[in-house]
């Protein structure tokens, strides 16, 4: 049984084809009065669109979809939801891969895509205030003429939003040197479940009081909705050098990564791609990747010119010591951009091979990379599935892609079974559940392997402190039996929504 099926069962399957709850008409009327009729939608197409995200999980049911344009409208939605006892699910671009934005229990969906303004930029203080619907790459493009960028750069950065990055504490290839989203969020204005507004964090180097900013980042919408975000902006480095190393085995590439870190070098990025994904990428964008390598390592260093040259030479040397068959350095910015285009369009390239894929996200110690990768290939073979590996090797963040065709009978059961074994292999190696995708519904069942009952109880108490009614993104993150949202979500499932 899949994670989402378990969530559906836990929230109550009350039978199909029944009428919606009688409260819906009053709820819609109040929401449309608070926003505008055209920004509160309850039609079949909108509900179907917002019932899923970019994960493999299906079966969510959305209530009304609201498109607020400011903090006051988000407050109004939260107060109306509280009055009706309804859950609320914030949503950005829907690029999440752990089912975190899938609505459980027909909650109100708060789509933040219309709150997409860059409010201010202060290059002296190196901070920008943005709304949650700002696209990640749009922010960097806005900052580039000023000599700055936003460092977190998920592979979906062309479409993912800053609010979604904050909710999942997203990373990206360059998080090795610059850190994940949490390191780049200074403060945020948050609307709580009762409609009150709070400012978490601050622009001072050491804000007074508890670090509620750090608590909120990565909370996956279970503590409230961020409506304004102060992000730290990063000055562009004067020199950048990008290398592409080829290997006869994935293990050699993984061991090279360990060798680079052991030598005291912390590159801006260290990305590994295996043979299958490398060929797919080359067929897709023609980035200049070798078609005959078992694996490639994309390494990037930045900083002052002399230091960059020294680090690049040392990386090349370490690569050759670990069996690199070829070492190539991008000659200019165009070639460098093409190499990164190949890496960041890797998931789109998979459509040449299979119509569907399940992208996992676990983290293992760098010393265990080669061992866990061998197990990943063996697990895929055991379930008669194709697997490709492309991952943030520098911090041990694995992203195995299980390829499949969902029209094939029984294939989803095999995919989920293989995914379960990959998670368990990662945990057995001393790893953790997620590096950047979050827990959502995907990894709830494994939370008690990583955390004790006391740990989970304290997580739930923290959630209650922000949201006593447990209506913010109910049914997510904290596993069944440990979350106050279990009862709340079950109480509010309209009859027949899982039909």
pLDDT digits (tens, 9 = 90+) for 35-55: 999 999 999 999 999 999 999
For the 239-348 domain, the top CATH level (class) is alpha beta
What per-residue confidence (pLDDT) applies to 11? 45
What per-residue confidence (pLDDT) applies to 496? 32
What per-residue confidence (pLDDT) applies to 183? 96
What per-residue confidence (pLDDT) applies to 492? 43
pLDDT over 90 (residue 17): no
Pick the CATH number of 3-113+453-491 from 3.40.190.10, 3.30.360.10, 3.30.43.10, 3.20.20.370: 3.30.43.10
pLDDT over 60 (residue 30): yes
Confidence of residue 18 (pLDDT cuts 50, 70, 90): very low
Does this model's pTM top 0.85? My answer is yes
pLDDT higher at 157 or 491: 157
Mean pLDDT of the chain: 91
Confidence of residue 486 (pLDDT cuts 50, 70, 90): low
pLDDT over 80 (residue 162): yes
> Are the beta carbons of 440 and 420 closer than 8 angstroms?
no
Record: fold of 354-444: Alpha-Beta Plaits (3.30.70)
Is the fold of 118-235 the same as that of 354-444?
no
- Determine which of 14-28, 91-105, 236-250, 273-287 has the lowest per-residue pLDDT on average: 14-28
What per-residue confidence (pLDDT) applies to 223? 97
Domain residue extents for the chain: 3-113+453-491, 118-235, 239-348, 354-444
What per-residue confidence (pLDDT) applies to 317? 98
Q: What's the CATH code, domain 118-235?
A: 3.30.465.10
What per-residue confidence (pLDDT) applies to 12? 42
């Amino acid at each position: 049984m899949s994670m989402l099926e378990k969530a559906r069962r836990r929230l109550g399957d009350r039978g199909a084809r029944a009428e919606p709850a009688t409260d819906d008409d009053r709820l819609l009327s109040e929401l449309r009065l608070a926003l505008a009729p055209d920004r509160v939608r309850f039609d079949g197409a909108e509900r179907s669109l917002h019932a899923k995200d970019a994960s493999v999980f299906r079966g969510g049911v959305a209530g009304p979809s609201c498109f607020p344009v400011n903090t006051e409208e988000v407050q109004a939605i939260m107060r109306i939801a509280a009055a009706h006892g309804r859950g609320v699910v914030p949503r950005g671009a829907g690029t999440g891969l752990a089912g975190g934005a899938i609505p459980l229990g027909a909650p109100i969906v708060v789509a933040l895509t219309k709150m997409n303004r860059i409010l201010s930029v202060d290059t002296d203080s190196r901070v920008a205030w943005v709304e949650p619907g700002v696209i990640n790459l749009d922010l960097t493009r806005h900052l580039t003429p000023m000599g700055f960028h936003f460092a977190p750069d998920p592979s979906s950065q062309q479409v993912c939003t800053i609010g979604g990055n904050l909710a999942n504490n997203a990373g990206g290839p360059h998080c090795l040197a610059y850190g994940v989203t949490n390191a780049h969020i200074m403060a945020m204005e948050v609307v709580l479940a009762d409609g009150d507004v709070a400012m978490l964090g601050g622009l001072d180097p050491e804000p007074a009081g508890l670090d509620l900013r750090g608590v909120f980042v990565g909370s996956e919408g279970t503590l409230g909705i961020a409506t304004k975000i102060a992000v730290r902006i990063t000055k562009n480095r004067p020199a950048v050098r990008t290398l592409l190393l080829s290997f006869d085995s994935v293990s050699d590439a993984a061991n090279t990564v360990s060798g680079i870190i052991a030598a005291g070098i912390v590159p801006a990025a260290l990305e590994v791609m295996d043979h299958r994904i490398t060929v797919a990428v080359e067929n897709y964008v023609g980035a200049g990747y070798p078609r005959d390598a078992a694996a490639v390592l994309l390494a990037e260093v930045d900083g002052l010119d002399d230091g960059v040259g020294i680090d690049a030479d040392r990386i090349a040397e370490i690569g050759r010591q670990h069996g690199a068959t070829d070492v190539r350095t991008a000659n200019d910015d165009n070639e460098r951009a093409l190499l990164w285009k190949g890496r960041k369009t890797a998931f789109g390239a998979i459509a040449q091979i299979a119509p569907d894929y399940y992208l996992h996200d676990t983290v293992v110690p760098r010393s265990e990379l080669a061992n866990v990768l061998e197990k990943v290939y063996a697990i895929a073979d055991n379930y008669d599935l194709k697997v490709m590996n492309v991952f943030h090797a520098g911090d041990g963040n694995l992203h195995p892609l299980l390829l499949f065709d969902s029209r094939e009978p029984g294939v989803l059961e095999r995919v989920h079974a293989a995914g379960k074994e990959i998670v368990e292999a990662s945990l057995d190696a001393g790893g953790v559940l997620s590096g950047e995708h979050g827990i959502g519904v995907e990894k709830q069942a494994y939370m008690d392997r990583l955390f004790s009952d006391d740990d989970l109880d304290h997580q739930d108490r923290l959630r209650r402190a922000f949201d006593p009614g447990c209506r913010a993104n109910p049914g997510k993150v904290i596993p069944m039996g440990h979350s106050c949202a279990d009862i709340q979500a079950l109480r509010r499932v309209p009859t027949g929504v899982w039909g």
